Amino acid sequence: MGRISRIPQAVVELMSGAKRDCWTIEELQNSLNSSGIAADFSSVFRASQKLEDQGVLRRVELNDGKAHFEFTHGHHDHMICQKCQLVSQIPCEFFETSIGEAVSRSGFKITGHSLVIEGLCKNCQNIGAVK
């Protein structure tokens, strides 16, 4: 077997080829299974861990009680529409050039941050109220 094992490789390929940017372990597993790749939840879990350790993936908190993973490169923050659950991206520069700078100036050394914005996306505002 090559240096990259079956499931981690499949996860990276799946994520590379899809539009979605944040995946729960369950979503990854289902998607793999659907494309004919057998994978146990725990195997996908371990794959995510390994990829996170290697710096390929980054764990993202969306405050829904589940772990989410995205590629480390192109790191960004997230907005979630509370109606359609659409997750959209916010460039991190917004954070870094405003809050981050102010916090750093206060003497706190920042090593990471998690920003989640909840609300209604443009589309759902037009359609109607929150379900």
Partner DNA sequence: CTACGTGCAAACTATTTGCCTACAA
Partner DNA sequence: TTGTAGGCAAATAGTTTGCACGTAG
What distance in Å separates the CA atoms of residue 91 and residue 53, rounded to the nearest whole number?
Answer: 23
Counting contacts by CB under 8 A, is residue 121 touching a second copy?
yes
Counting contacts by CB under 8 A, is residue 119 touching a second copy?
yes
Of 13, 20, 35, 42, which one interacts with DNA (CB under 7 A)? 42
Counting contacts by CB under 8 A, is residue 122 touching a second copy?
yes
Counting contacts by CB under 7 A, is residue 41 touching DNA?
yes
Residues between 84 and 103 that touch a second copy (CB under 8 A) = 88, 90, 94-95, 98-100, 102-103
**The token pair that represents 57 in the structure block:** 């993936």
Instruction: Specify the length of the chain in residues.
Output: 131
Counting contacts by CB under 7 A, is residue 15 touching DNA?
no
Structural Rg of the chain based on CA atoms: 17
Distances (CA, A) of 62 to 8, 24, 80, 88, 90: 23, 10, 8, 12, 13
Binding site for DNA (CB under 7 A): 1-2, 5-8, 24-26, 38-43, 45-47, 49, 65-67
